[in-house]
């Protein structure tokens, strides 16, 4: 599959080092990564501001960790996905890998610093040697925005807050309708046991169930039986659960607690009771409109031990109504996911001391892609600078006066610029304002200098009024605080 990935890369993306004349492909960026231009950065900043404001509203601190970890820190944490880890070349010293997510570095940080309680967010880039799909917002370098709560607390309270945060952020970003699917690893494991899956196949069958959002049940069953060697009977029993129980709430948890197979299994029962409890907190948090209990949700990563969840954006289906029939809507991709991982920190502690954790990770690139498309179709131009006023001159030989005035404005905290020409034409200075969306121009002219005034022009209305220097600063502040 990695091999397939490479072939795909070579046909769909520029590959440097291939026998194409260098002048045609060079300079470039690595396949699956991208530059952000100023317009994209302006959108990205807006998204980050919304996300960080929510994290701070919920009382989180932030930390940062290095972009590379010791290779052994990442080893054995990601199951089948480990092949996607980027390694650094052995140039002497330690063996290093680029971080694959922010969760494992967080767990390493907690163990290393013996921290048993923290609520933290972390926004940073992670790296996966995956098949990139630029149009769907999937890259080899991408941002994750993580929020996690570590500590020994009463069941489902921090878990519910993570879901509350997903609900708040996706609502505030106005990305359209969404659904948050929840399930629990204990329910999955209990269900596997109840369906006759051998213990040593739990993880690999779980990985296969995780593909249900991209593959049909027939294909998933086929993989279980023919690739992973599960009995057909066990697969069919799993199918009865994961194809039917995909859109419930507290009621579904209650119904499953009565199910003759599951009710025999202790693990499944404790998971189901916790899901019931979770929904009672979600009601208090007023987010049950978007959360569904879905037995087919599995999540790929190895380290989850309890509740798991994933948020998907939905689009009205042909026959559907996104408000009343979430089942009819079409998923356009996961934008956040997470869960409880009570064992991960202990893997990094020399004495195996556990720190229970629950968290959520926003896959923010897909959100950027949607926001960019929205910005493209919007009538409002995205500004990439915040310049409030251009200091311009109406005649030649006024560079010194422009530099003096712009110095005064900077000192007053006003965002201002001058053109870097000795004698720019007034027209080209005004054009620069139009192009950059600068709302005001302070125009210096010989007559104004004699009179001790500066002309302030409003770009949109072409209105012009003379001000003394002191009044000019007041007027700029007044006009730009209005906007």
CA dist., res. 173 & res. 37, Å (int): 21
CA dist., res. 80 & res. 223, Å (int): 15
Which of 144, 151, 113 is closest to 127 using CA atoms? 144
* Cis amide linkage into residue 27, ω under 30° from 0: yes
Q: By CB under 8 A, name the one of 95, 244, 323, 465 that touches a copy of itself.
A: 95
Footprint (CB under 8 A) of a copy of itself, residues 296-355: 348, 350
Q: Which stretch binds a copy of itself (CB under 8 A): 8-16, 241-249, 321-329, 469-477?
A: 8-16
**DSSP, residue by residue, 407-473:** HHHHHTT--EE--SSSS--HHHHHHHHHHHT--EEEEE-HHHHHHT-EEEEETTT--EEEE-HHHHH
* Binding annotation for L-histidine: 101-103, 128, 144, 148, 299, 303-304
Beta carbon nearer to a copy of itself, 112 or 460? 112
Q: By CB under 8 A, name the one of 2, 20, 323, 330 that touches a copy of itself.
A: 2
* Binding annotation: 101-103, 128, 144, 148, 299, 303-304
Footprint (CB under 8 A) of a copy of itself, residues 54-83: 56-70, 72-73
Smallest distance from the beta carbon of 105 to a copy of itself, in angstroms? Answer: 8
- Interaction of residue 168 with a copy of itself, rule CB under 8 A: yes
Binding mask 407-446 for a copy of itself (x = CB under 8 A): x--x--xxxxxx-xxx------------------------
The residues facing 98 across adjacent strands are 68
With a CB cutoff of 8 Å and minimum separation 6, the contacts of 357 are 106, 107, 110, 148, 149, 150, 340, 341, 342, 344, 345
Beta carbon nearer to a copy of itself, 286 or 377? 286
Footprint (CB under 8 A) of a copy of itself, residues 440-459: none
Q: In what order do the strands lie in the sheet with 330-340?
A: 61-62, 118-127, 141-150, 357-363, 330-340, 307-315, 178-184, 291-293
**CA separation, residue 325 to residues 39, 242, 321, 334 (Å):** 37, 19, 5, 19
Q: Which stretch binds a copy of itself (CB under 8 A): 113-121, 327-335, 368-376, 446-454?
A: 113-121
Footprint (CB under 8 A) of a copy of itself, residues 196-235: none
Beta carbon nearer to a copy of itself, 147 or 192? 147
Question: What is the sign, positive or negative, of the torsion defined by CA atoms of 53, 36, 374, 370?
Answer: negative
Footprint (CB under 8 A) of a copy of itself, residues 250-289: 281, 284-286
Counting residues that bind a copy of itself (by CB under 8 A) gives: 99
Smallest distance from the beta carbon of 335 to a copy of itself, in angstroms? Answer: 20
The residues facing 183 across adjacent strands are 308
């Amino acid at each position: 599959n990695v091999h397939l990935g490479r072939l795909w890369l070579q046909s769909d993306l520029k590959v440097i080092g291939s026998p194409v004349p260098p002048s045609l492909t060079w300079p470039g960026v690595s396949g699956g990564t991208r530059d952000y231009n100023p317009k994209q950065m302006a959108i990205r900043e807006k998204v980050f501001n919304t996300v960080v404001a929510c994290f701070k509203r919920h009382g989180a601190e932030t930390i940062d960790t290095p972009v590379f970890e010791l290779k052994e820190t990442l080893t054995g944490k990601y199951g089948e996905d480990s092949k996607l880890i980027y390694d650094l070349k052995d140039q002497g010293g330690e063996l290093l890998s680029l971080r694959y997510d922010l969760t494992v570095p967080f767990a390493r940080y907690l163990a290393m610093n013996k921290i048993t309680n923290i609520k933290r967010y972390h926004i940073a880039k992670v790296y996966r040697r995956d098949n990139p799909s630029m149009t769907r917002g999937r890259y080899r370098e991408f941002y994750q925005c993580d929020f996690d709560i570590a500590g020994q607390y009463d069941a489902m309270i921090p878990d519910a807050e993570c879901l509350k945060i997903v609900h708040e952020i996706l609502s505030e970003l106005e990305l359209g309708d969404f659904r948050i699917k929840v399930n629990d690893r204990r329910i999955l494991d209990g269900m596997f046991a109840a369906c006759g899956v051998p213990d040593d196949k739990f993880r690999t069958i779980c990985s296969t169930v995780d593909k249900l959002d991209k593959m049909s049940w027939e294909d998933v069953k086929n993989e279980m039986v023919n690739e992973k060697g599960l009995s057909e009977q066990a697969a069919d029993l799993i199918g009865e659960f994961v194809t039917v129980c995909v859109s419930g709430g507290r009621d579904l948890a209650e119904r499953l607690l009565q199910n003759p197979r599951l009710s025999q299994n202790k693990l499944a029962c404790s998971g189901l009771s916790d899901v019931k409890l979770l929904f009672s907190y979600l009601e208090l948090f007023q987010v049950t409109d978007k959360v569904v209990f879905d037995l087919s949700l599995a999540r790929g990563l190895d380290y989850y031990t309890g509740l798991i969840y994933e948020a998907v954006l939905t689009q009205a289906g042909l026959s559907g109504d996104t408000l009343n029939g979430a089942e009819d809507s079409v998923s356009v991709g996961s934008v956040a996911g997470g869960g409880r991982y009570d064992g991960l920190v202990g893997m990094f502690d020399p004495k195996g001391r556990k720190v229970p954790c629950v968290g959520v990770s926003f896959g923010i690139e897909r959100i950027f892609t949607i926001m960019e498309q929205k910005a493209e179709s919007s009538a409002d131009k995205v500004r990439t600078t915040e310049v409030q006023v251009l200091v311009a001159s109406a005649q030649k030989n006024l560079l010194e006066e422009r530099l003096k005035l712009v110095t005064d404005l900077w000192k007053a905290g006003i965002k201002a610029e001058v053109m870097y020409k000795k004698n720019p034409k007034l027209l080209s200075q005004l054009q620069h304002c139009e192009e950059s969306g600068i709302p005001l121009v302070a125009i210096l002219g010989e007559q104004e200098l004699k009179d001790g005034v500066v002309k302030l022009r409003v770009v949109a209305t072409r209105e012009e009024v003379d001000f003394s220097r002191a009044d000019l600063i007041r007027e700029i502040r007044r006009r730009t605080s209005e906007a």
